[in-house]
Amino acid sequence: MTQKILPDLDSSSWQLPASTTAELSEKVHAHALVIPVINEGERIRNQLQRISDARLPVDVVIADGGSTDGSLAEDHLRATGVRAVLTKTGPGKLSAQLRMAYAWCLKQGYDGIVTIDGNGKDGVEAVAEMVAKLEAGYDYVQGSRYMPGGVAEHTPLERTLANRGIHAPVLSLSGRHWFTDTTNGFRAYSRRYLLDPRVRPFRDVFQRYELLFYLTVRAGQIGMRVCQVPVQRRYPPNAAVPTKINGLSGKISMLMQTFAAALGRFKP
């Protein structure tokens, strides 16, 4: 199917990684659920089944970083109602995957985008609440396991301390709104926010986690409507933590990206 760019959308200046697209079904809903993955194995397969069973008001779009483990077999994707698989073939990590997927969703005419990690830690039920917030006029909705109604189960202590003691306060101060769980990739954005010329998320400066942190602070800075909703995040007990942030260097790099976003390094 040929991608159709909407008349009101000028994407000529967007910087996007090279990618391929496999559309498996037609557009049904007004909002998309973007799931970034790379070699998530049974975690993503089980998650897609839970999403399908929940009958959420979203079209599911997979943003693949180049999986080679067979977890994205087309028969399973079709069986669980996935709309499209976008596969990044150019450089970059998570932020490049998200730029690729967000651009595609906007070109497809979606009113808003929810993002959830593809490692199976998150309760998918909150997707519906995030869509409801977007429909109520919010532009950025952050999921939080720490607010009343949220669930944080088996979260490694160092992650809780870093998130609540450093990451959330730093980005909250910069973004002019108090958030409690800013490392959480479970969030939602309105079309209006992503297309605002004061934001410009489709730039090559966003390669790793920068885009997540930048979009957290930029919304409040430009007066967008923001809020947070309770979500469930469960780490597996007595097992390796499913994460792509490994070693001391990875954690230091993440902190550097956090402070760069807070200090305005990514403003257009």
Query: Residues 147-199: pLDDT tens digits?
Result: 999 988 877 777 777 777 788 888 999 899 899 999 999 999 999 999 999 99
For 185-240, the pLDDT digits (tens) are: 999 999 999 999 999 999 999 999 999 999 999 999 999 999 999 999 988 776 55
Does the model's pTM come out above 0.75?
Answer: yes
For 39-75, the pLDDT digits (tens) are: 999 999 999 999 999 999 999 999 999 999 999 999 9
Provide the 3-class DSSP secondary structure of residue 104. Answer: helix
Residue corresponding to tokens 């669930």: 151
Mean pLDDT over each residue of the chain, to the nearest integer: 91
The rounded percent of the chain whose pLDDT value lies above 70 is 93
List all residues 6 or more positions away from 31 whose beta carbon is below 8 Å from its beta carbon. 57, 58, 59, 110, 111, 112, 113, 114, 131, 134, 188
CATH code that applies to domain 19-262: 3.90.550.10
Residue corresponding to tokens 């990451």: 167
List all residues 6 or more positions away from 239 whose beta carbon is below 8 Å from its beta carbon. none
Q: Where are the domains of the chain?
A: 19-262
| Contact call for residues 45 and 71 (beta carbons, < 8 A) | yes
Query: Residue 76 half-sphere exposure, CB side, CA atoms within 13 Å?
Result: 15
